[in-house]
Amino acid sequence: MSQPGGHPMSVLHLSLIRGRVLPHFAPDLPFEMALAAALERLPERAPIVILVHGYRYCPSRRETDPHACLFSTDPASQTPRVLRWPGALGFSRRGLEDGLCIGFGWPAGAQPVTGALPRGFARAYDTAAEAGAALAAIITAIEALAPGRSVDLMAHSLGARVALNAIAALDRPGIGQVILLDGAEYRQRALTLMTGAAAGAAQIFNVSTPENALFDLLLTGFGPLPGARPLSAGLSADLPFAFDLRLGEPVLRPALARRGIAIGPATRPVCHWSVYSRPGAMALYRAILRDRARWSVARLRAETAADRAGTHPDRPDRPQGWQRPVAQT
């Protein structure tokens, strides 16, 4: 957890290997010790964010190791698909002043693509529930080592199932912002999982993109629950602590613009990684994690409802000093 010179780094790498959570680069060390070393130096108000990758990554395989790409702080050879998440979210190599970022790797079915792809995904889907229990153990350890600290989660694709299962396994509140990126989970299962003790205190941002529609269709048609609707169908209508954040949706633009965020157009019509590679997307997630009051679910729901109705007093497309006309009686 230290860089040359003895300064603590802001990213802790943990992996689920053969049923055990281990520090990825120091597997002989209990993960609780690595956590304790990081938490004791963490500033009081600094965020704790756990990142969870999706399908096909596996920390025990060099070619698909998420710690060498998604969770790395090394910007070398970065591409849109393997964008380094920690740096894009504001975590640096300087130390813990920016907060603690934990990259959680799990065996997500990193087999070569074959005719048995649906079976491979089904295995990974089942493994995601087991990984959720391991993630819950990490969160529980954080709560024991740093009582009262909130833990945020950001998860992509099948990692959303990991995150939701972890929240369901916790027996007390302690989860803060939860960002689900084009989650590969079924809507009804998510609603069932979000009835536990830890769920109500969470703020869930259910992010989806049109570019992921094909992958949602595959989940619906060939996943473990054929015909069931995916997360992109929405959670807001049933969960008061959830906000459906559909990138590219026109009604969302005013609320983002008021906060200085602009989401650029997708570069490809079909893309599973567009949810974090789109221009402005990672700036949005960084803001959600670092400015909680401004990005609360309740505030966003109220603002977008007012924008839909045309009643919000601060719309970016109106000239300065504009006032709603007074109705004539």
Structural domains of the chain, ranges and CATH numbers in brackets: 11-309 (3.40.50.1820)
Is beta strand 175-181 parallel, antiparallel or unpaired with respect to 151-156? parallel
How much is the pLDDT for 114?
Answer: 42
Structure tokens given for 326 = 């007074």
Beta strand pairing status for 151-156 and 100-105? Answer: unpaired
Full-model pTM:
0.90
Strand partners, 155: 52, 180
Q: What is the pLDDT of residue 25?
A: 87
**Tokens 């459906």 correspond to what residue?**
244
pLDDT digits (tens, 9 = 90+) for 3-40: 433 345 689 999 999 999 999 988 889 999 999 999 99
Cα separations in angstroms, 312 against 109, 253, 298 = 46, 13, 15
| 117-145 and 31-39 helices, crossing angle to 10° | 50
The reported pLDDT for the residue numbered 78 is 61
What pLDDT does 318 receive? Answer: 53
pLDDT at 311: 84
In 3D space, the residue among 104, 86, 105 whose CA is nearest the CA of residue 96 turns out to be 86
What pLDDT is recorded for position 50?
99
Q: Kindly give the parts of the chain with pLDDT less than 50.
A: 2-7, 110, 112-115, 319-322, 325-327, 329
- pLDDT of 321: 46
Give the pLDDT of residue 276.
95
pLDDT for 317: 55
Which pLDDT score, from 0 to 100, does residue 327 have?
Answer: 47
Q: What is the pLDDT of residues 127-169, one digit of tens each?
A: 999 999 999 999 999 999 999 999 999 999 999 999 999 999 9
Taking the C-alpha atoms of residue 262 and residue 297, their distance in angstroms, rounded to an integer, is 19
